[in-house]
Amino acid sequence: MKPTHLEIQRMLTDSQWREQLFKMTALVMLSIALLTLAVLLIDAFVDGVGRLRWSFLTNFPSRKPEQAGILSALVGTVYMMILTGLFAFPVGVGAAIYLEEYAKHHWFSRIIELNIANLAGVPSIIYGLLGLEVFVRAMGFDRSLLSGSLTMALLVLPIIIISSREAIRTVSPSIREASYALGASRWQTIRNQVLPLAFPGILTGSILAFSRAIGEAAPLITIGALTYIAFLPDSLLAPFTALPIQIFNWVSRPQKGFHANAAAAIIVLLVVLILMNALAVYLRQRYQKRLSL
């Protein structure tokens, strides 16, 4: 028996009501999240904007809060992220290329894909424990810049692999087929056709992964990164500190001056994160414009 016109109209009304309810619920959840973020940012700016001076960026940490700076933490963060990119980016992109272009789709490849997806959701402190056991103790790198960079590389590697695979999948199969039809090998097709088209997405996903790593403190605390360093690292095996570690150290102090320093360091860290995300947007637009010409 077909529904009557009145029943159809009632079902449409119910559907529209549910849709409006879902929109309102989503809007309320978004508003709560943005409001919480705004309160945290305002609180950090109010507490730390008075400490943002050039001397704060160029001074080493000190036992006196008014003389303390973030030079060693800022430089250590930059060094660590450069090394993390050198270790994680080629391995992650290479693994994505193999899984997407070369690996056969059977049970073993599905197990690898499942494990990579699970590793992307593992808490960061687990990577810290892994880095402590493998890099600090087993390989003898001690609590050095190299150990911290390799630990962070493990942290972001699953994210880079997943985002790179998604970027490679966006390349149309017809482009590969056209390249094969012209006599190109599989590697020539990947190098000259697939990677240039997928590179904006690969780059964006990688920079966003590094943006997550730059704010992680738990893995660095686990491997034993120092909280007080009054010098800059001069080698890969030198001890180091980073902005999250320095912020953690200052927040744990009872003096209010150190709390203001922590808020100022949070502002600096946020600026670095914004710059990294802006770089991702800029590079993506630049490569997309180049490909469209």
Q: Does residue 14 form part of some domain?
A: no
Q: Does residue 18 form part of some domain?
A: no
pLDDT tens digit string along 141-163?
A: 888 889 999 999 999 999 999 99
The per-residue pLDDT for 2 is: 58
Output the pTM of the full model.
0.84
Q: Does residue 185 form part of some domain?
A: yes
Domain count within the chain: 1
pLDDT tens digit string along 183-221?
A: 888 889 998 888 888 888 888 888 888 888 888 888 888
Query: The domain that contains 164 carries what CATH number?
Result: 1.10.3720.10
Q: For residues 150 and 232, what is the distance between their CA atoms, to the nearest angstrom?
A: 19
pLDDT tens digit string along 84-104?
A: 999 999 999 999 999 888 888
Q: Does residue 138 form part of some domain?
A: yes
Confidence of residue 11 (pLDDT cuts 50, 70, 90): low
| Residue 287 scores a pLDDT above 80 | no
The per-residue pLDDT for 3 is: 62
Question: Residue range 72-94: average pLDDT?
Answer: 91
The per-residue pLDDT for 27 is: 92
Hey, what are 156's tokens? 């972001």
| Residue 243 scores a pLDDT above 80 | yes
Q: Does residue 266 form part of some domain?
A: yes
Contacts of 200 (CB under 8 A, 6+ apart): 167, 283, 284, 287, 288, 291
| Residue 1 scores a pLDDT above 60 | no
Report CA Rg, the chain: 24
Q: Does residue 6 form part of some domain?
A: no
Percent of the chain at pLDDT > 90 equals 19
Q: Does residue 161 form part of some domain?
A: yes
Q: Do 175 and 193 meet the contact criterion of CB atoms below 8 Å apart? A: yes
Instruction: Residue 126: give the domain boundaries.
Output: 54-292
Q: Does residue 15 form part of some domain?
A: no
Residue 224 DSSP class: T
